[in-house]
Amino acid sequence: MDIIKKIKEAGLKGRGGGSFSTALKWELAKKAQGKEKYVICNAAEGEPNVFKDKYILDNYLEDVINGIKIAKNFISAKSAYIYLNKNYTISEDIGDIIIFKKDSGYIGGEETSICEAIEGKRVEPRRKPPFLTESGLFGCPTLLNNVETFYCVSKIAKGEYNHSRFFSINGDVLNQGVYELREDITIFQALKETKNYPEFDFFAQVGGGASGEIMLPQELNRPVFGAGSITIYNREKTDKYELMEKWAEFFHTGNCDKCVPCREGAFRIYEMIKERNIDYDKLDSIFFSLKKSSFCSLGKSIPLPFESLIKKIR
């Protein structure tokens, strides 16, 4: 059975946070016309409290490389890149796969920004369409997947795939770390099984340490989403302003400043929270504009943590 059928049967979806069908992406990249093609493994992993890609690279590098090679072979790519978080290292010999160290903020992990970075240009997102599978790196069809996705492909190819997924669990927990669990596990079960379910009143941030949604204990009976992280906060002991200030600073300094709502909006959010002087009318306006008129998905995702925290915890 060929690989694409196997991926389809496994129902694999991208593990970077976007959950796009891997088989469909691969087929698009294969069908696309282009003199050259490229494969990129996104190992930029830039959000706070998300470390699962690092864990996979440190422990299962061979499978990641194998997955990249299968992809390269499948679309007949000229070369493959690993776009690597600047604090991560790969010291093993990985053949002709090129390591490109990320040298930019959070935005540097967005897929079109990655192409700009590798091409030596200013790191900011491109307009979509065209999508990377039509016109990506150097204007050529490009297949970009997350580290974990390539790992899964390797497992699928070897017949070892057991529908597991990696979760970063951290914050006010006893056993923080990266865990490989069932992909459809609920947040509640993940906390229980890893002996991390708090005994105090808490809230969780799920799906990313900055852009993740705030969830209350009674909301945890659903699968983990986004980049697969769960961060636990002691409800009583956590300074909510401090927490929001951390996110706001992360977005304000990590974005690319290309479009008005994200450049100016993220800054104003940071300013208001830092000064502990929030004008909720202004804040709502900015959130509205971010969600509806930002250039890329990063900008669109900024309001979620703030809005969910303010709504649920205030």
Partner 1 sequence: MIKLKINNIEVSAKKGESILDVAIRNGIKIPAVCRHSDLEPQSSCRLCLVSIKGRDGFFTSCSTNVENGMEIITDSPEIKKLRKINLELLFSQHIEQCSQCNWKYKCKLLSLAKDYNIKITKFNDRKKSFKEKKFGPSIVFDSSKCIDCKNCVQMCEKQGIGYLTVKEKDGFFQVVTDSSKECVYCGQCITHCPSGAFEEISSIEKVEKALEKKYVIFQFAPAIRSSIGEEFNMPYGSISTGKLVSSIKKLGAKKVFDVSVSADVTTIEEGNELIERLNNGKNLPMFTSCCPSWVRYVEIYKPEIVKNLTSVRSPHIILGGLIKTYFSEKEKINPKNIIVVSVMPCTSKKYEILRDELKVDGLRPVDYVLTTRELGKLIKKNNIDFKNIEEDALDSPWNKPTGAGVIYGNTGGVMESALRTVYEKLTGKKLKNINFKEVRGLEGVKEAKVKIGNKNINVAVVNGLGNINKIDLKKYEYIEVMACPGGCIGGGGQPIPINNEIRKKRAQSLYKIDSGDSVRMAHDSLTVKMIYKEFLNNKKNIHKTCHTTYFPKNK
Task: Give the nearest distance from C-beta 255 to partner 1 in angstroms.
Answer: 9
Minimum CB distance to partner 1 smaller for 204 or for 248:
248
What are the angstrom distances between the C-alpha of 237 and each of 200, 233, 246, 278? 10, 8, 16, 21
Size of the site for partner 1 (CB under 8 A): 26
With CA atoms as reference, report the closest residue to 254 among 124, 117, 88.
Answer: 124
* Residue from 35, 127, 276, 311 in contact with partner 1 (CB under 8 A): 127
Site for partner 1 in 286-305 (CB under 8 A): 286, 288-289, 292-295
Q: How does DSSP assign 186-223, residue by residue?
A: BHHHHHHHTT---SS-EEEEES-TTTPEEE-GGG-SSB
* Residue from 258, 274, 278, 297 in contact with partner 1 (CB under 8 A): 258
Minimum CB distance to partner 1 smaller for 112 or for 146:
112
Q: Among the residues of 94-239, which ranges form H helices?
A: 111-118, 147-157, 187-193
CA 157 to chain centre: 24
Minimum CB distance to partner 1 smaller for 50 or for 256:
256
At 100 the three-state DSSP class reads strand
Minimum CB distance to partner 1 smaller for 195 or for 292:
292
Listed in sequence order, the residues at least 6 apart from 159 whose beta carbon sits closer than 8 Å to its beta carbon are none
Site for partner 1 in 75-114 (CB under 8 A): 105
* Residue from 83, 145, 252, 269 in contact with partner 1 (CB under 8 A): 252
Q: Which stretch binds partner 1 (CB under 8 A): 35-43, 169-177, 194-202, 280-288?
A: 280-288
Task: Give the nearest distance from C-beta 71 to partner 1 in angstroms.
Answer: 30
At 83 the three-state DSSP class reads strand
User: Binding residues for partner 1, per CB under 8 A?
Assistant: 105, 122, 124, 127, 252-253, 256-261, 263-265, 267-268, 282, 285-286, 288-289, 292-295
